[in-house]
Amino acid sequence: MNKISDDISKDLKDQPKFTTDIGEKDQDHHSFDLGEQTTLKKIQHFLHGNPTIVPVIILILSVIAFGFIAGGKFFSAFNLSLIVQQVTIVGILAAAQTLIILTAGIDLSVAAMMVLASVFMGKLSVEMGIPTLPAILVGMISGVATGAFNGLLVTRLRLPPFIVTLGTWNIFFALVIFFTGSQSIRSSDIEVNAPLLHFWGERINLGGFVFTYGAFLMIGIFIFLWFLLNRTAWGRHVYAIGDDKEAAELSGIRTDRMLVSIYAVAGFVVAIGAWVSIGRVGSVSPTSFYEGNLDSITAVVIGGTSLFGGRGTIIGSLFGALIVGVFSSGLSIAGLDVLWQRFALGCLIIVAVGIDQWIRKVSN
């Protein structure tokens, strides 16, 4: 790495510069602002190059702010780790959602997919007496299949992802009701018949910080997806498709096949979330996580990923989910009504998208 940068700086010295060859005058609307910049412009450029910085700053500021507002109770090890526990499911859904949004799509059905997968896991192992591991496997397959189904509709029928997943959200939800008859599978029944389903809900105490195994799994999923997105061709193609689908196609990427695989991978991540959610909630409830679809989109958007695709980081979504968690926890400890949590979250979404739009102007 050092060698390359040395070489580059050497070459820069030896070679005439593009700008000096061309002259300053003709550069005005093509060049990358080599002239003096205002501080605001510099900030804009910096944020453009480092999209994860915004959510990190918001997270730090909100933690400090709620530390003041809510007092020491907020900063207790128990509360901070509780926030992580609480955002586990939305975090995993947001990880899957990030993949879809990076392709300039949106998935309104992630939470319904997750509940459907958890219903398969619970139903088969608890009520039909199938061993737990095969039941979990069926749930995983359900996640991948429902994800791929979304992807196929998007690519084969050329329908906008918003409409496709609005439709499948309802379809998956109806299937959940059909398979369960609106009945929850009780936590105690799961504990007796399929304790493995509760595995990710088990807790570990690290000096006052209480974490579930599921929280670690969520972190693991984000790290895994980071490597996938940044270190493999598949990941680079996710960005290329979201950035400019036509250009990606001309570069030799089979965009339709890629899109189906992206939706399927998202479905797989969601299915992992299904297993974790059983541990988190205890029971399998057909009506749980009804707001999970929108919550996951909120986390991704606050995390700095652009709804127009091609821009954003997977780690940003983790911070986005944590920000939502910090807001909910801080406001409730401060004794504010739930309605103000909603209100604050709404403002946060609009601010986040506004900042994104402003940063994106750099490239024009």
Partner 1 sequence: MDKKGVKLMDPVLVAKKLSKKYGKVVALDNADLELYPGEVLGVIGDNGAGKSTLIKALCGAVIPDSGEIQLDGNKVSFTSPIEARKLGIETVYQNLALSPALSITDNMFLGREIRQKGFMGRILKFLDQKAMAEEARKRLSDLGLLTIQNINQLVETLSGGQRQGVAVARATSFGTKVVIMDEPTAALGVKESRRVLELIGEVRARGIPIILISHNMPHVFEVADRIHVHRLGTRLCVIDPKKYEMSDAVAFMTGAKEPPLN
The span of 138-146, 170-178, 229-237, 346-354 binding partner 1 (CB under 8 A) equals 229-237
Decide: 6 and 12 in contact? Cβ < 8 Å.
Answer: no
What gap in Å lies between CA 303 and CA 27, rounded to an integer? Answer: 35
Member of 37, 182, 232, 287 binding partner 1 (CB under 8 A): 232
Member of 127, 189, 243, 256 binding partner 1 (CB under 8 A): 243
What gap in Å lies between CA 359 and CA 300, rounded to an integer? Answer: 16
Judged by beta carbon, residue 175 or residue 248, the one nearer partner 1 is 248
**Residue 32 in 3-state DSSP?**
coil
Nearest distance from residue 195's CB to partner 1, in Å? 33
Judged by beta carbon, residue 30 or residue 158, the one nearer partner 1 is 30
What gap in Å lies between CA 321 and CA 55, rounded to an integer? Answer: 10
What gap in Å lies between CA 268 and CA 224, rounded to an integer? Answer: 13
Question: Exposure string (b/e) for 267-299, b if CB count within 10 Å is 16 or more?
Answer: bbbbbbbbbbbbbbbbebbbebbeebbebbbbb
The span of 173-181, 209-217, 248-256, 285-293 binding partner 1 (CB under 8 A) equals 248-256
Contacts of 172 by beta carbon, 8 Å cutoff, 6+ apart: 109, 112, 113, 115, 116, 146
Judged by beta carbon, residue 247 or residue 347, the one nearer partner 1 is 247
Nearest distance from residue 216's CB to partner 1, in Å? 21
185 token code pair: 């599978």
By rule CB under 8 A, what string of x and - marks binding of each residue 21-60 to partner 1? xxx--xx-xxxx----------------x-----------
Nearest distance from residue 33's CB to partner 1, in Å? 9
123 touching partner 1, by CB under 8 A: no
Member of 244, 281, 345, 353 binding partner 1 (CB under 8 A): 244
What gap in Å lies between CA 326 and CA 315, rounded to an integer? Answer: 17
Residue labelled with tokens 């990941």: 235
Residue labelled with tokens 């737990």: 132
> Measured in whole angstroms, how far is the alpha carbon of residue 304 from the centre of its chain?
10
Member of 123, 198, 280, 311 binding partner 1 (CB under 8 A): 311
Nearest 5 degrees, angle CA 186-CA 188-CA 191? 115
What gap in Å lies between CA 140 and CA 296, rounded to an integer? Answer: 20
Decide: 92 and 86 in contact? Cβ < 8 Å.
Answer: no
The sign one gets for the Cα dihedral 347, 353, 354, 356 is positive
Decide: 276 and 218 in contact? Cβ < 8 Å.
Answer: yes
198 touching partner 1, by CB under 8 A: no
Nearest distance from residue 209's CB to partner 1, in Å? 32
Judged by beta carbon, residue 166 or residue 362, the one nearer partner 1 is 362
**Residue 209 in 3-state DSSP?**
strand
**Residue 185 in 3-state DSSP?**
strand
11 touching partner 1, by CB under 8 A: yes
8 touching partner 1, by CB under 8 A: yes
Nearest distance from residue 67's CB to partner 1, in Å? 36
Nearest distance from residue 136's CB to partner 1, in Å? 24
Size, binding site for partner 1 by CB under 8 A = 44
250 touching partner 1, by CB under 8 A: yes
Judged by beta carbon, residue 253 or residue 272, the one nearer partner 1 is 253
Member of 41, 73, 231, 257 binding partner 1 (CB under 8 A): 231
The residues that touch partner 1, with contacts defined as CB under 8 A, are: 1, 4, 7-8, 11-12, 15-19, 21-23, 26-27, 29-32, 49, 227, 231-234, 236-237, 239-240, 242-244, 246-248, 250-253, 310-311, 362-363
